[in-house]
Protein backbone atom coordinates (compact mmCIF):
# COMPACT_ATOMS: atom_id res chain seq x y z
CA UNK A 1 0.00 0.00 0.00
CA UNK A 2 2.14 2.86 -1.19
CA UNK A 3 -0.94 5.06 -1.48
CA UNK A 4 -2.69 6.99 1.27
CA UNK A 5 -5.99 5.31 2.05
CA UNK A 6 -8.45 7.79 3.43
CA UNK A 7 -11.97 7.44 4.75
CA UNK A 8 -14.15 10.57 4.51
CA UNK A 9 -12.69 14.07 4.27
CA UNK A 10 -11.66 16.76 6.71
CA UNK A 11 -14.38 18.84 5.04
CA UNK A 12 -17.14 16.36 5.91
CA UNK A 13 -15.77 15.95 9.45
CA UNK A 14 -15.63 19.70 10.07
CA UNK A 15 -19.12 20.05 8.61
CA UNK A 16 -20.26 17.73 11.41
CA UNK A 17 -20.33 14.27 9.87
CA UNK A 18 -18.85 12.13 12.69
CA UNK A 19 -20.64 8.82 12.16
CA UNK A 20 -18.29 5.85 12.16
CA UNK A 21 -18.43 3.76 8.96
CA UNK A 22 -14.87 2.52 8.39
CA UNK A 23 -13.96 -0.74 10.08
CA UNK A 24 -10.83 -0.19 12.22
CA UNK A 25 -10.07 -3.91 12.18
CA UNK A 26 -8.94 -3.42 8.55
CA UNK A 27 -5.82 -1.69 9.95
CA UNK A 28 -3.81 -4.79 10.68
CA UNK A 29 -0.69 -4.23 8.57
CA UNK A 30 2.45 -4.04 10.77
CA UNK A 31 3.62 -0.88 8.95
CA UNK A 32 0.23 0.83 9.19
CA UNK A 33 0.88 4.50 9.88
CA UNK A 34 -1.48 7.42 10.10
CA UNK A 35 -4.14 9.27 12.01
CA UNK A 36 -7.84 9.64 12.44
CA UNK A 37 -10.57 10.00 15.00
CA UNK A 38 -12.98 7.60 16.65
CA UNK A 39 -16.77 7.44 16.56
CA UNK A 40 -18.40 10.79 17.44
CA UNK A 41 -14.87 12.21 17.77
CA UNK A 42 -14.49 10.44 21.10
CA UNK A 43 -10.72 10.45 20.63
CA UNK A 44 -7.80 11.35 18.41
CA UNK A 45 -6.24 8.28 16.82
CA UNK A 46 -2.56 7.69 16.16
CA UNK A 47 -1.69 4.69 14.03
CA UNK A 48 1.90 3.65 14.52
CA UNK A 49 3.67 0.36 13.85
CA UNK A 50 0.34 -1.23 13.04
CA UNK A 51 -1.32 -0.29 16.34
CA UNK A 52 -4.20 2.15 16.74
CA UNK A 53 -3.98 4.34 19.88
CA UNK A 54 -6.92 6.41 21.06
CA UNK A 55 -6.41 9.62 23.07
CA UNK A 56 -9.40 11.03 24.95
CA UNK A 57 -9.37 13.78 27.62
CA UNK A 58 -9.03 12.44 31.14
CA UNK A 59 -7.85 8.96 30.08
CA UNK A 60 -4.50 7.33 29.35
CA UNK A 61 -3.96 6.45 25.69
CA UNK A 62 -5.24 2.97 24.96
CA UNK A 63 -5.43 0.58 22.03
CA UNK A 64 -8.64 1.00 20.10
CA UNK A 65 -10.93 -1.98 20.17
CA UNK A 66 -12.76 -2.95 17.05
CA UNK A 67 -14.77 0.04 16.04
CA UNK A 68 -16.21 1.91 13.08
CA UNK A 69 -14.39 5.18 12.40
CA UNK A 70 -15.64 8.47 10.92
CA UNK A 71 -12.29 9.74 9.59
CA UNK A 72 -9.01 8.06 8.85
CA UNK A 73 -5.85 8.63 6.84
CA UNK A 74 -3.53 5.65 6.74
CA UNK A 75 -0.65 4.28 4.70
CA UNK A 76 2.27 1.90 4.93
CA UNK A 77 5.25 3.97 5.91
CA UNK A 78 8.55 2.96 4.36
CA UNK A 79 10.70 6.11 4.65
CA UNK A 80 12.54 7.08 1.46
CA UNK A 81 14.79 9.37 3.46
CA UNK A 82 15.88 9.60 7.10
CA UNK A 83 17.74 12.75 8.13
CA UNK A 84 19.07 14.25 11.35
CA UNK A 85 17.90 17.84 11.74
CA UNK A 86 18.40 20.53 14.37
CA UNK A 87 16.03 23.13 15.81
CA UNK A 88 12.82 21.95 14.21
CA UNK A 89 9.38 23.29 15.12
CA UNK A 90 5.89 23.68 13.65
CA UNK A 91 6.90 26.88 11.85
CA UNK A 92 10.06 25.68 10.12
CA UNK A 93 9.36 21.97 9.51
CA UNK A 94 8.26 22.84 5.96
CA UNK A 95 11.64 24.50 5.29
CA UNK A 96 13.48 21.52 6.75
CA UNK A 97 11.64 19.17 4.39
CA UNK A 98 12.05 21.51 1.46
CA UNK A 99 15.82 21.02 1.64
CA UNK A 100 15.22 17.44 0.53
CA UNK A 101 12.13 17.61 -1.66
CA UNK A 102 9.98 20.43 -3.10
CA UNK A 103 6.73 19.73 -1.33
CA UNK A 104 4.27 22.43 -2.33
CA UNK A 105 2.31 20.18 -4.72
CA UNK A 106 2.70 16.69 -3.25
CA UNK A 107 1.61 14.46 -0.38
CA UNK A 108 4.11 13.14 2.13
CA UNK A 109 3.87 10.76 5.04
CA UNK A 110 6.12 12.24 7.73
CA UNK A 111 7.50 10.99 11.04
CA UNK A 112 9.55 13.17 13.40
CA UNK A 113 11.23 11.32 16.24
CA UNK A 114 12.77 13.43 19.02
CA UNK A 115 12.96 14.45 22.62
CA UNK A 116 10.65 17.44 22.26
CA UNK A 117 11.53 20.29 24.58
CA UNK A 118 8.06 21.74 23.96
CA UNK A 119 4.95 20.00 22.74
CA UNK A 120 1.29 21.01 22.89
CA UNK A 121 -1.27 18.30 22.23
CA UNK A 122 -5.03 18.26 22.27
CA UNK A 123 -7.63 15.61 23.01
CA UNK A 124 -11.44 15.73 22.84
CA UNK A 125 -13.78 15.11 25.76
CA UNK A 126 -15.51 11.71 25.70
CA UNK A 127 -18.24 11.79 23.06
CA UNK A 128 -20.88 10.57 25.50
CA UNK A 129 -20.33 13.56 27.83
CA UNK A 130 -20.88 16.39 25.35
CA UNK A 131 -23.60 16.88 22.78
CA UNK A 132 -21.58 17.01 19.60
CA UNK A 133 -21.55 20.04 17.46
CA UNK A 134 -18.22 20.95 15.91
CA UNK A 135 -18.03 24.17 17.93
CA UNK A 136 -18.72 22.41 21.26
CA UNK A 137 -16.14 19.87 20.28
CA UNK A 138 -13.54 22.54 19.54
CA UNK A 139 -14.30 24.61 22.65
CA UNK A 140 -14.18 21.77 25.17
CA UNK A 141 -11.01 19.99 24.12
CA UNK A 142 -8.23 19.42 26.62
CA UNK A 143 -4.85 20.90 25.79
CA UNK A 144 -1.68 19.67 27.45
CA UNK A 145 1.80 21.17 27.30
CA UNK A 146 4.60 18.64 27.66
CA UNK A 147 8.32 19.31 28.09
CA UNK A 148 11.29 17.05 27.44
CA UNK A 149 9.17 14.24 26.14
CA UNK A 150 10.46 11.49 23.94
CA UNK A 151 8.21 10.31 21.14
CA UNK A 152 6.96 10.47 17.59
CA UNK A 153 4.98 12.89 15.47
CA UNK A 154 3.02 10.80 13.01
CA UNK A 155 1.26 12.37 10.10
CA UNK A 156 0.98 13.85 6.67
CA UNK A 157 1.84 16.89 4.62
CA UNK A 158 -1.03 17.90 2.32
CA UNK A 159 -0.68 20.55 -0.38
CA UNK A 160 -3.09 23.49 -0.07
CA UNK A 161 -4.61 22.32 -3.38
CA UNK A 162 -6.18 19.38 -1.47
CA UNK A 163 -7.06 21.39 1.65
CA UNK A 164 -10.70 20.30 1.89
CA UNK A 165 -9.81 16.62 1.63
CA UNK A 166 -7.10 16.64 4.31
CA UNK A 167 -5.78 19.30 6.67
CA UNK A 168 -3.63 21.58 4.45
CA UNK A 169 0.02 21.70 5.52
CA UNK A 170 1.10 19.35 8.31
CA UNK A 171 -1.32 17.26 10.31
CA UNK A 172 0.47 15.46 13.11
CA UNK A 173 -0.63 13.26 15.97
CA UNK A 174 1.76 12.35 18.77
CA UNK A 175 2.53 9.18 20.69
CA UNK A 176 5.26 9.11 23.28
CA UNK A 177 7.87 6.41 23.70
CA UNK A 178 6.15 5.04 26.82
CA UNK A 179 2.64 5.28 25.31
CA UNK A 180 1.49 7.55 28.16
CA UNK A 181 0.69 10.66 26.11
CA UNK A 182 -1.03 11.06 22.79
CA UNK A 183 -3.13 13.57 20.86
CA UNK A 184 -3.42 16.02 18.00
CA UNK A 185 -0.32 18.22 17.77
CA UNK A 186 -0.68 22.01 17.99
CA UNK A 187 2.94 23.03 18.68
CA UNK A 188 6.29 21.30 18.88
CA UNK A 189 9.97 22.05 19.06
CA UNK A 190 13.08 19.90 19.34
CA UNK A 191 16.76 20.78 19.30
CA UNK A 192 17.63 17.53 17.55
CA UNK A 193 15.31 15.23 15.65
CA UNK A 194 15.17 12.39 13.19
CA UNK A 195 13.02 13.41 10.25
CA UNK A 196 11.66 10.67 7.99
CA UNK A 197 9.38 11.03 5.02
CA UNK A 198 7.94 9.19 2.07
CA UNK A 199 6.27 10.77 -0.92
CA UNK A 200 2.77 9.48 -1.59
CA UNK A 201 1.68 9.96 -5.17
CA UNK A 202 -1.77 8.52 -4.71
CA UNK A 203 -4.53 9.26 -2.24
CA UNK A 204 -7.62 7.08 -2.34
CA UNK A 205 -10.62 8.74 -0.73
CA UNK A 206 -13.73 6.77 0.17
CA UNK A 207 -16.82 8.81 0.96
CA UNK A 208 -19.29 7.78 3.65
CA UNK A 209 -22.09 5.79 2.04
CA UNK A 210 -25.09 6.79 4.15
CA UNK A 211 -28.15 8.72 3.00
CA UNK A 212 -27.41 11.19 5.80
CA UNK A 213 -24.04 11.99 4.22
CA UNK A 214 -25.51 12.21 0.72
CA UNK A 215 -28.14 14.66 1.89
CA UNK A 216 -26.03 16.89 4.09
CA UNK A 217 -25.34 20.45 3.01
CA UNK A 218 -21.75 21.54 3.46
CA UNK A 219 -21.35 25.29 3.69
CA UNK A 220 -18.19 25.81 1.67
CA UNK A 221 -18.03 29.52 2.52
CA UNK A 222 -17.32 28.75 6.19
CA UNK A 223 -15.56 25.40 5.75
CA UNK A 224 -12.00 26.60 5.26
CA UNK A 225 -12.26 28.76 8.37
CA UNK A 226 -13.55 25.79 10.41
CA UNK A 227 -10.68 23.61 9.21
CA UNK A 228 -8.19 26.33 10.15
CA UNK A 229 -9.89 26.99 13.50
CA UNK A 230 -10.36 23.40 14.65
CA UNK A 231 -7.34 21.65 13.16
CA UNK A 232 -4.55 24.19 13.55
ZN1 LIG B 1 -5.71 15.62 14.25
Beta pairing partners, 44:
37, 55
Give the pLDDT of residue 220. 87
pLDDT (tens digit per residue) in 18-29: 889 998 877 778
- Quote the number of domains for the chain: 1
Please check whether residue 179 lies inside any domain of the structure.
yes
Asked if the structure places residue 128 within a domain, the reply is: yes
Its pTM stands at 0.94
232 part of a folded domain:
no
CATH number at residue 211: 3.30.1330.80
Residue 155 CA to ligand 1 center (angstroms) comes to 9
pLDDT of 196-207, one tens digit each?
Answer: 999 999 999 999
Q: What percent of the chain has pLDDT over 70?
A: 98
Report CA(45)–ligand 1 centroid distance (Å).
8
Confidence at residue 131, expressed as pLDDT on a 0 to 100 scale: 56
Q: Of the given ranges (32-36, 131-135, 186-190), which has the lowest mean pLDDT?
A: 131-135
User: Cα of 102 to ligand 1 centre, how many Å?
Assistant: 24
> Distance, CA 35 to ligand 1 centroid (Å)?
7
Q: How confident is the model at residue 36 (pLDDT cuts 50, 70, 90)?
A: very high
Would residue 120 count as lying in a domain? yes
Distances (CA, A) of 140 to 41, 61, 124, 208, 228: 12, 18, 7, 26, 17
Q: Is 151 helix (H, G, I), strand (E, B) or coil?
A: strand
Q: Domain range spanning residue 106? A: 4-227
CA of 140 to the centre of ligand 1 (A): 15
216: pLDDT confidence band, cut at 50, 70 and 90?
very high
Amino acid sequence: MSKIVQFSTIGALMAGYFRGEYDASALKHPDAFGLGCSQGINGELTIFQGKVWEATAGEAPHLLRQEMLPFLQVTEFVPERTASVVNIDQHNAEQHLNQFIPLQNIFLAVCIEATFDHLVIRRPQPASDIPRDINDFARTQQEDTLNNINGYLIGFWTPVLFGRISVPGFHFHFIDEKRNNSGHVLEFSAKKAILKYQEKQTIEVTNPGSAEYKNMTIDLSSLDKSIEHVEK
